[in-house]
Amino acid sequence: MPISSGNTLGVGVIGAGVMGGYHARLFAGRIGGARLAAVSDPDRARAETVAAGARVHSDGMALIRDDAVAAVLVAAPDAAHHGLVMEALRLGKPVLCEKPLAATVAECREIVAADAGRGLVCTGFMRRFDETYREMKAALDAGRVGAPMVLHCVHRNQIAPGWFTGPMIVTNAMVHEIDICRWLLGAEYTAARIRAVGDRGDLILAELETDIGAVVRIEVFMNAAYGYHVHAELVGRAGAVAMAEPAPVRLRAAGAAQAAYPADWIGRFADSYRAQDQAWVAACRAGRADPDLATAQDGLVATRCCAQLVGLLEGAGSGALALGG
């Protein structure tokens, strides 16, 4: 494996859009043990803007094959994920792929098969590195809330484009809850119900059962207006643990003590991305898996669950989920 030991890990970032640019800036200077080796984007000028002196490719496949690139971060459009991840696997290079792992369940399955248990593929479910979820999981694992009963989740965006329709709400937004609740509970989903509320279809309620008996309740609201807000509360037999308001300060102004919400995910999960990328680099350099990084299998499960939820949303509303295999 072309992992540098002692030296820094050369990371290539595929895609120079919002997400790719964000990761590139991290690898360029804020992740220990890594350096930004290359950036690719069909829009070469955009790639150069974020490359900060690193090599530039217009083709993601070329970046993967670049010898300066020891590990690959995929932030290309969803449809391209499968091909890029497969190529990295072919060359035996570690890859961290932004969610979703691939656009279809079949593609995800191929990736899992190609990874063949090597652990070369990670899926970018960065919330696993968010301190609120980690503290909740720590409380659960330490027995401080007892056996889990209900996990209440809220995921609100301030505003979404009109074309951000029901299925996208599931596959692009709710997918984060789908992964993080599995991880937090250490459980698999067995059945689900899902429905839209209101006439615009931008608020979706889901309720998922798990194989440990706990129920996950989710609200995703794409136009919550007041800000970007992610909240969760885990209720167990011995207690409960919930996120606090995320703002570190209170501004007393205009008649209120104000705990600010960020405008979007960057303000809420910036630290999670950094911590995830740092953990991934450390794992790549050490040549062993970090149990908190989402695997290819985790990516498959999330994609499959979301596909089934979309089916339920457009169909019967509720039904069993086949998630196990």
Q: Find the binding residues for a second copy in span 2-31 (CB under 8 A).
A: 6, 8, 26-31
Please tell me whether residue 163 binds a second copy under the rule CB under 8 A.
no
Smaller CB distance to a second copy: residue 302 or 313? 313
Distance CA 224, CA 324 (A): 34
Considering only residues 76 to 115 of the shown chain, the ones binding a second copy according to CB under 8 A are none
Binds a second copy (CB under 8 A): choice among 61, 105, 114, 139: 139
Please tell me whether residue 238 binds a second copy under the rule CB under 8 A.
yes
Which of the ranges 95-103, 135-143, 168-176, 308-316 carries the binding residues for a second copy, by CB under 8 A? 135-143
Please tell me whether residue 69 binds a second copy under the rule CB under 8 A.
no
Distance CA 35, CA 10 (A): 5
* Least distance in angstroms from the C-beta of 49 to a second copy: 19
The C-alpha angle with vertex 281 and arms to 279 and 287, in degrees rounded to 5, equals: 100
Binds a second copy (CB under 8 A): choice among 172, 282, 292, 297: 282
Q: Are 108 and 179 in contact (CB under 8 A)?
A: no
DSSP string, 128-173: GG-HHHHHHHHHHHTTSS-SEEEEEEEEE-S---TT--HHHIIIII
Which of the ranges 11-19, 96-104, 106-114, 212-220 carries the binding residues for a second copy, by CB under 8 A? 212-220
Number of residues that bind a second copy (CB under 8 A): 76
Smaller CB distance to a second copy: residue 3 or 154? 154
* Least distance in angstroms from the C-beta of 222 to a second copy: 11
Reference 101, options 267, 294, 236; nearest CA is 294
Bridge-based pairing of strands 9-14 and 71-74 is parallel
Please tell me whether residue 235 binds a second copy under the rule CB under 8 A.
yes
In the 8-state DSSP scheme, what is residue 127?
G
Binds a second copy (CB under 8 A): choice among 258, 292, 311, 319: 258
Binds a second copy (CB under 8 A): choice among 1, 92, 116, 144: 144
Any residues with CB less than 8 A from the CB of 127 and at least 6 apart, and which?
133, 176, 179, 180, 269, 272
